[in-house]
């Protein structure tokens, strides 16, 4: 490709010949008729020639400009247009069949703990550092690769960095087929991006969330509903299974929104999950930190539950958005079916919260996926506003004790304050009060923990 | 930079004055000669003035448009043009001296094993998740950074994520000098991208492949040949060697293609490698899974071969493409020279396969590098076609037993089916039958293993 | 968006009618006056009509071109312009409020050691493989994400890949507030990019450098000064602290440059750091390799210094650039305050070097940050030049022995040669002579080590 810039055109050249003709009209009145007519004929002839010459020059010039427009503006086959929404960068081919987008997110955290026992560990952490690329091919095929660079450094070796890594076909209209690593369809807050949760950490029901796994899913949705189902393996990444067949999940979810207008939403959802553990171990475990992620302390923890044949989970969701006011609640009940003489184990958790935008914004909702979307700041900082300010209060409750498993019961109260500086820049402070830990035999039994959790978050 | 869009031009203004002159010609016939001549003179004068005025207006307007074209279309020094081939996004400076490209690939796998022994482990895995950037500086300098995000999670700690990471000089015409981490020049399938291999996993000769290492290489090629040689260290990444000098390789390859037209190719190749192990250990080991990567089981395995002074490998390659029909075979013979009273060890492997495109496509070949290239789908899905369909059959044989080393012998038969939906989207199913494992003393001796391996693959 | 390219305009059409009028002027001289006047009137009428028609056609054509310019050049709301400086790719919105840039760097190393003891380990390594993205939102907010892919593979498990990961507010003019992971403000060479250091590895004072941590900082600068202060946690990434509160730092730096013109710089700097170790361990350790990073050998090493209450460091910097000649020196003194009966420990290090560009370039300086910037090559290779050639000599001295801590003393001399092929492509050779190791009781005491360290480096 060679876009040499030729500015050869000199439009002032057109004016030269015409100026020479003007003096003749001033002295014409006194000449005899014959001379005057001859002069007129000569002038008309010259006028014609000039008009002709002007025409030729203009034609050339216009042609040249048109050629420049054609060549330069659409410089090559496959031209791509770059645009931004002020946050992220998008590329689209001129035929709309191809698109590409690069994005990322950063959550930088600090937390301070006040507890009877002093091993909670004040500190700082990068909670998430995502980069992701996504795009479209041949109009109907989407893909997304997303990696969390904050994960490989985790001391929890089972947590790895690959997040979304999928291929999706959308050629059937509203129906989507997805293959690869993606979130299993279970739980309103689990499926909502970690960027858009009201509190720094998801509610305590998240301890049962399946997260992302390699699988195949079918999903669809409309103006008032969403539905999704998928089959998933248990291993998200390139691990080598040394023994036994991998566990697997069958997970499905349906949501219905009788009201689904901006600022006026009622959401109801139900989800179910059947999990078969890795066949050689038949083990599962569940635990939870105090809804804060800096500390490594798990206030409630079943430890390894042996002999699990399979595991079922049922999730119920409800949410409402009424202008600046919003409520949300989830309940998850699970059953671990165990073989032989071992008792089945029933565990459960729920949370409920209310939030209010002091600055009048509303939480956003995507009905066709049944999830919460990005809050749009009405008056961003730097555009004459003070951003959006949101206060919220959450009660959480988890019960990990049943049969001979004494994982413990946990009750939390969280007060949250969010300052959305821009649509994609937010500072949050959460005060988390552990109301009760009922876990006989553990040093955390009856522990009184107060946490101040701070977060700075940006995404693009 | 400031591209304010000024649409000040109102070309219709030109037409106003001229329309006022037209009525005079209708009533001119009855006037006396003098008056008519005067009127004519006046009209010609007016015409001249109008033409002059039009000229001035046009000049301004054309200048303004030219300025807009100049300023906006090439808005700044260093303008870059974005284009796509429908798969990936490319950026090029207008002087062609600079280019940049971002790419990636995803291979999502699942495999199911049927074996006498039950510890093969059905499961799923992300086989490869690459992101890479590459580009050109100052016309003659190329670079490429490529990372496999599926690797850091590998339980094999010696496998890390950095793949290509090199700087290349191309200022000598067809000759290229490369410095950094890149593939050692050995083996047709080893050098062919993992995106373009006919079967999900490379043939069993790949157990001897040197992979990528840090080194310096010189390569060249023409319409019918390629040649490459390089010296490489043993460590691909930022490891700290705790003791002893690193091992190193001297590797070279030459390929010749008497036929090298699209759909009509005969390829012959030979490669040699001299390897010096890390001096403090002098150890090497070779092993192979059943040409499927989900299981961790290595059906044949030399274990650590001690006392290796050096290691030599010879590779022979042949391939033919005849329209939709294709054949390919490789043979690798190695010798481990051992010091003292230890016997030298000779190991070898080979494979041969045939493939056929039911939909008529041909495998593509790059003669100047002596490798297989991307298959172009004649009638992609979504453009009225059913994509490309390919069937293939491979026989593989490896012998890792010699002297007192009993690594075992392996024979596999693989039936492959590939569906290329688009040029860059492919679904594959491989059925792999282990014909024989001859490994006395191992639990895998005589093991009968059948594998169904599935893959979804996309790249951009 | 749909940029269909319509080339409907045929400017040659304008010339058709005018040519038909020309013959009449040739035969007009012999006709009678009346006929000639009538003909003239007719001609003027025709001329008017033609001029009118031309006007209409031109107006249409100009309007059409203007529309094409408007629609195509700024094709959509949020259009983004891509440019390159020949190295990296930048995207900017037309209103300058948004920008995005992707970059990276590769340093490929090899080193050869000649020592009395033979366990230094010749070898190769990718020293750094960075990718980074950075950008601007809403004009006043910057961010940067930077990851070193060469780090996760390090055997030193405390070194992780996240480098810069911050959000910055610049709405207060020269003052910047930064939140996230970034370099603590301490040390001229520590703060200078690893791409621009004169020698392959930073001088020995770097063993005291705090590197990057999660924190909050305030910085500012002018034509002759820079100032920065910050509070930082101790943990750069998503680790889980299992016990005890994280350590933290309070760090500040001021630099003053009485001379700060291109090629004529005098820089003076002072920095201080207060460090509180993790409260449960109260341990610190300091060590140094022989200013070469391939080997794992640490010639001097305090081992774990127990019982440290807190740690203070003072850094002094001086540098001068006088045309092609440059000098630079840093000194760091530290005190480890220890509780109980344990003696306080005073450790220190310093280096001084001179460099000279044989090809006449000058090192570049950024006064408002008090750091060294990229050297611009006057005559790059490929543009008729031989690049820039620089020779340099450094003396380094570290003393890690005090009280009952016998970390050892080290003296190094380094001779460096840099070939800058392009502004962003450099090959370097360092010869490092260990003059003395005084570390009683260690096998490295009195060790005589000569190192040849090679590097190829590119960035974009």
Backbone angles phi, psi at B455, to 5 degrees: -145, 140
CA distance B352 to chain C (A): 36
A60, A79, A155 ranked by CB distance to C240: nearest = A155
Q: Which residues in chain C have their CB less than 8 angstroms from residue A136's CB? A: none
B341 touches chain C (CB under 8 A): no
**CB of B336 closer than 8 Å to CB of B304:** no
* Burial class of residue C16 in the structure, from the number of CB atoms within 10 Å of its CB (0-12 exposed, 13-18 middle, 19+ buried): exposed
Q: How far is B153 from chain A (nearest CA, A)?
A: 6
> According to the model, what pLDDT value does residue A127 have?
92
- Tell me the DSSP string of B276-289: E--TTT--B--EE-
Q: Is the pLDDT of residue B10 over 50?
A: no
- As a whole number, the mean pLDDT across chain C is 87
> Using a CB-CB distance cutoff of 8 angstroms, which residues of chain A are in contact with residue B106?
143, 145, 165-167, 180
CA of A37: which chain C residue's CA is closest? Answer: C37
CB proximity list for A35: less than 8 A, separation 6 or greater: none
Q: Which residues pair with A21 in a beta bridge?
A: none
Q: Smallest Cα–Cα separation from C47: which of C62, C25, C28?
A: C25
Q: Which of A152-166, A285-299, C308-322, C357-371 has the lowest mean pLDDT?
A: A152-166
Stated as kind and residue range, the H or E segment containing C118 is none
What is the dihedral sign for C-alpha B231, B235, B239, B240?
negative
Q: Could you tell me the two tokens for A359?
A: 């600055």
d(CA B447, CA B436): 7
Partner-chain contact A41 C36, CB within 8 Å: yes
Residues of A in contact with B153 (CB under 8 A): 160-162, 237-239
Q: B296–A77: do the CB atoms touch at under 8 Å?
A: no
Burial of A77 (0-12, 13-18, 19+ CB in 10 A): exposed
Closest by Cα among C373, C372, C356 to C418: C356
The percentage of chain C sitting over the pLDDT mark of 70, rounded to a whole number, equals: 88
Size of interface A-B (CB pairs under 8 A): 234
pLDDT at A71: 65
Min Cα distance C408 → chain B (Å) is 20
Question: Is B16 near chain C, with CB under 8 Å?
Answer: no
Phi/psi at C171 (nearest 5 deg)? Answer: -75, -5
Taking alpha carbons only, the member of C103, C104, C248, C236 closest to residue C160 is C236
**What pLDDT is recorded for position A93?**
92
Q: Give the one of C22, C76, C238 whose C-beta lies nearest to A150's C-beta.
A: C238
Residue B310 contacts residue B275 (beta carbons within 8 Å): yes
Any idea what the Cα angle at residue B158 is, between residues B157 and B163, rounded to 5°? 115
Measured CA to CA, the distance from residue C101 to residue A347 in angstroms comes to 48
**A:C CB pairs within 8 Å:** 235
pLDDT at B59: 81
Residue A130 contacts residue A147 (beta carbons within 8 Å):
yes
pLDDT band at B73 (very low <50, low <70, confident <90, very high): low
Contact at CB, A238 and B73, closer than 8 angstroms: no
CA distances in angstroms from A133 to A91, A424, B90, B106, C131, listed in the order given: 11, 18, 15, 12, 14
pLDDT recorded at residue A1: 31
Q: Which residue has the higher pLDDT, B243 or B332?
A: B332
Per-residue pLDDT at C143: 97
Distance CA A21, CA A27 (A): 12
Q: How far is B85 from chain C (nearest CA, A)?
A: 17
Question: Tokens at residue A126, please?
Answer: 């990068």
Give, in order, the Cα–Cα distances in Å from B12 to each of A26, B57, C56, C67.
Answer: 30, 11, 8, 14
Hey, is the C-beta of B131 within 8 angstroms of any chain A C-beta?
yes
Quick one: how far is CA A63 from the chain centroid?
A: 47
Q: Which two tokens stand for residue A242?
A: 């040394």
Binning pLDDT at 50, 70 and 90, where does residue C23 land?
A: very low
CB C356 within 8 Å of CB C403: no
**C94 in A contact zone (CB under 8 Å):** no
| Residues composing chain C | 460
Among all residues of chain A, which has the CA nearest to that of B47? A47
Q: In chain B, which residue's Cα lies nearest the Cα of A47? A: B48
- Rounded Cα distance between A92 and C41, Å, is 59
Q: Which of B12, B80, B165 sits opposite C83 (nearest CB)?
A: B80
Q: What is the DSSP letter of B344?
A: P
d(CA C359, CA C373): 18
- Residues with Cβ within 8 Å of residue C320, at least 6 apart in sequence: C265, C266, C267, C326, C327, C328
Report residue A46's pLDDT band, with 50, 70 and 90 as the boundaries: confident
B240 near C CB under 8 A: yes
Residue B400 and residue B350: Cα distance in Å, rounded? Answer: 12
Q: Is A33 on the interface with B (CB under 8 A)?
A: yes
Q: What is the ipTM of this complex?
A: 0.84
Tell whether A92 lies on the interface with C, counting CB pairs under 8 A.
yes
Subunits close to A (at least 3 CB pairs below 8 A) = B, C
DSSP label at residue C97 = S
The verdict on a CB contact (< 8 Å) between C98 and A86 is yes
Across the range A49-61, mean pLDDT stands at 82
Question: A82 and C77: CB-CB below 8 Å?
Answer: no
Q: Which two tokens stand for residue C81?
A: 């312009």
Q: Which segments of A221-364 does DSSP mark as H helices, in order?
A: none
Higher-confidence position of C63 and B131:
B131
The 3-state secondary structure of A141-208, one letter per residue: EEEEEEEECCCCCCCCCCCCCEEEEEEEEEEECCEEEEEEEEECCCCHHHHCCCCCCCCCCCCHHHHH
Interface of C with A in 269-288 (CB under 8 A): 280
Q: Of the candidates C91, C143, C244, which has its C-beta nearest A89's C-beta?
A: C91
Please state, in angstroms and rounded to a whole number, the distance separating the CA atoms of residues B346 and C9.
76
pLDDT tens-digit profile of C179-221? 999 999 999 999 999 999 999 999 999 999 999 999 999 999 9
A239–B154 CB contact, under 8 Å = yes
The answer to whether residues A351 and A397 touch, using CB atoms and an 8 Å cutoff, is yes
Question: How far is residue A86 CA from its own chain's centroid?
Answer: 15
Chain A residues touching residue B382 (CB < 8 angstroms) = 138-140, 171
Is C295 an 8 Å CB contact of chain B? yes
Out of C66, C85, C153, name the one closest to residue B160 (CB): C153
**Under 8 Å CB-to-CB from C214, ≥6 apart: which residues?**
A108, A110, A124, A125, A126, C180, C181, C232, C233, C235, C236
DSSP one-letter string for B80-129: EEEEE-SSSEEEEETTSS-EEEEEEEEEEEEEEEEESSS-S--EEEEEEE
How many whole angstroms separate alpha carbon B311 and alpha carbon C122?
Answer: 19
Contact between chains at C243 and A119 (C-beta distance less than 8 A): yes
Contact call for A147 and B149, based on CB within 8 A: yes
Predicted pLDDT of residue B316: 98
Query: Do C117 and C447 touch, CB atoms closer than 8 A?
Result: yes
The answer, for C435 touching chain A at a CB cutoff of 8 Å, is no
Which chain B residues touch A166 with a CB distance below 8 Å?
106, 108
Residue C117 contacts B, CB cutoff 8 Å = no
Global pTM value:
0.86
Collapse the DSSP code of B35 into the 3-class scheme (helix H, G, I; strand E, B; otherwise coil) and give the result. helix
Residue A305: count of CB within 10 angstroms of its CB: 24
> What count of other Cβ atoms lies within 10 Å of the Cβ of residue C286?
22
Contacts of C294 in chain B (CB under 8 A): 240-241
Q: Is B247 helix (H, G, I), strand (E, B) or coil?
A: coil
**pLDDT tens by residue, C279-290:** 777 888 999 988
Report d(CA B90, CA B96) in Å as an integer.
12
- Give the tens place of pLDDT for each residue, B430-448: 999 999 999 999 999 998 8
pLDDT digits (tens, 9 = 90+) for B229-259: 999 998 744 444 456 788 899 999 999 999 9
C45-65 tens-digit pLDDT: 888 888 888 888 888 888 887
Q: How far apart are CA C234 and CA C214, in angstroms?
A: 7
Least confident of A333-342, B59-68, C250-259: B59-68
Of A51, A92, A149, which has the smallest distance from its Cβ to C51's Cβ?
Answer: A51
Pick the more confident residue, A32 or B232: B232
Q: Do B241 and C295 touch (CB under 8 A)?
A: yes
8 Å CB contact between C308 and C338:
yes
Q: Which of C44, C106, C151 sits opposite B167 (nearest CB)?
A: C106
Q: Which residue of C89, C94, C108 is in closest CB contact with B179?
A: C108
Closest chain B residue to the Cα of C152, Cα to Cα? B152
What residue in A sits closest to B118 (Cα-Cα)?
A244
CB contact under 8 A, A119 and C180: no
Convert the pLDDT of each residue in A162-179 to its tens digit: 899 999 999 998 899 999
The count of other CB atoms within 10 Å of the CB of residue B211 is 14
The answer to whether A98 and B84 are in contact (CB under 8 A) is yes
CB within 8 Å of chain A, chain C residues 354-393: none
B29 touches chain C (CB under 8 A): yes
C75 touching chain B per CB within 8 A: no
CA distance B327 to C44: 82
Contact list, A34 vs chain C (CB under 8 Å):
33
Q: Chain C: list its partners (3+ Cβ pairs within 8 Å).
A: A, B
Question: B81 and C82: CB-CB below 8 Å?
Answer: yes
Cβ contact B143:B134 at 8 Å: yes
pLDDT at B41: 82
Which chain B residues have a beta carbon less than 8 Å from that of A152?
Answer: 152
Sort out which chain A residues have CB atoms less than 8 A from C3's CB and list them: 73-74, 79, 81, 94
Q: Terminal CA-to-CA distance of chain C, rounded, Å?
A: 32
Distance CA A58, CA A45 (A): 20
Query: Whole-angstrom Cα distance, residue B143 to residue B434?
Result: 41
Strands (E), C116-161: 123-137, 141-148
3-state SS of C153-170 is CCCCCCCCCEEEEEEEEE
């Amino acid at each position: 490709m060679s876009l040499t810039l030729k500015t050869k055109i000199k439009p002032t050249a057109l004016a030269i010949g015409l100026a020479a003709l003007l003096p003749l009209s001033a002295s014409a009145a006194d000449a005899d008729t014959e001379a005057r007519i001859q002069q007129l004929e000569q002038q008309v002839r010259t006028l014609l020639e000039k008009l002709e010459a002007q025409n030729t020059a203009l034609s050339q010039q216009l042609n040249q400009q048109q050629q420049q427009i054609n060549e330069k503006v659409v410089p090559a086959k496959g031209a791509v247009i770059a645009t931004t929404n002020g946050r992220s960068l998008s590329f689209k081919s001129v035929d709309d069949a191809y698109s590409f987008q690069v994005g990322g997110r950063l959550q930088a955290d600090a937390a301070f703990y006040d507890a009877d026992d002093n091993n909670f560990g004040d500190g700082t952490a990068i909670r998430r550092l995502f980069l992701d690329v996504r795009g479209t091919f041949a109009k109907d095929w989407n893909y997304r690769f997303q990696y969390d660079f904050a994960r490989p450094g985790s001391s929890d070796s089972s947590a790895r960095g690959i997040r979304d890594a999928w291929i999706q076909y959308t050629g059937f209209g509203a129906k989507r087929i997805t293959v690869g690593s993606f979130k299993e369809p279970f739980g309103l807050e689990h499926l909502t991006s970690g960027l858009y949760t009201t509190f720094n950490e998801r509610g305590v029901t998240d301890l049962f969330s399946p997260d992302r796994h390699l699988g195949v899913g079918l999903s669809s949705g409309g103006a008032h509903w969403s539905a999704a189902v998928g089959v998933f393996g248990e291993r998200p990444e390139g691990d080598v299974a040394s023994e036994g067949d991998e566990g697997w999940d069958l997970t499905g979810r349906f949501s219905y929104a009788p009201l689904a207008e901006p600022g006026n939403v009622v959401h109801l959802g139900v989800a179910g999950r059947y999990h078969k553990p890795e066949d050689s171990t038949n083990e599962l475990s569940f635990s939870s930190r105090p809804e804060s992620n800096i500390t490594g302390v798990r206030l409630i923890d079943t430890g390894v539950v042996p002999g699990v044949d399979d595991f079922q989970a049922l999730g119920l969701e409800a949410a409402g958005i009424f202008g600046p006011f919003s409520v949300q609640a989830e309940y998850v009940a699970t059953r671990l079916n165990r073989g032989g003489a071992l008792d089945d184990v029933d565990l459960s958790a729920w949370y409920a919260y209310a939030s209010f935008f002091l600055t009048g914004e509303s939480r956003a909702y995507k009905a066709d996926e049944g999830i919460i979307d990005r809050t749009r700041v009405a008056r961003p900082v730097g555009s004459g506003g003070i951003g959006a300010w949101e206060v919220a209060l959450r009660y959480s409750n988890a019960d990990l004790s049943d049969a001979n498993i004494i994982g413990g019961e946990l009750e939390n109260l969280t007060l949250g304050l969010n300052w959305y500086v821009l649509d994609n820049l937010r500072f949050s402070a959460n005060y988390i009060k552990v109301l009760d830990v009922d876990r006989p035999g553990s040093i955390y039994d009856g522990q009184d923990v107060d946490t101040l959790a701070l977060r700075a978050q940006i995404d693009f």
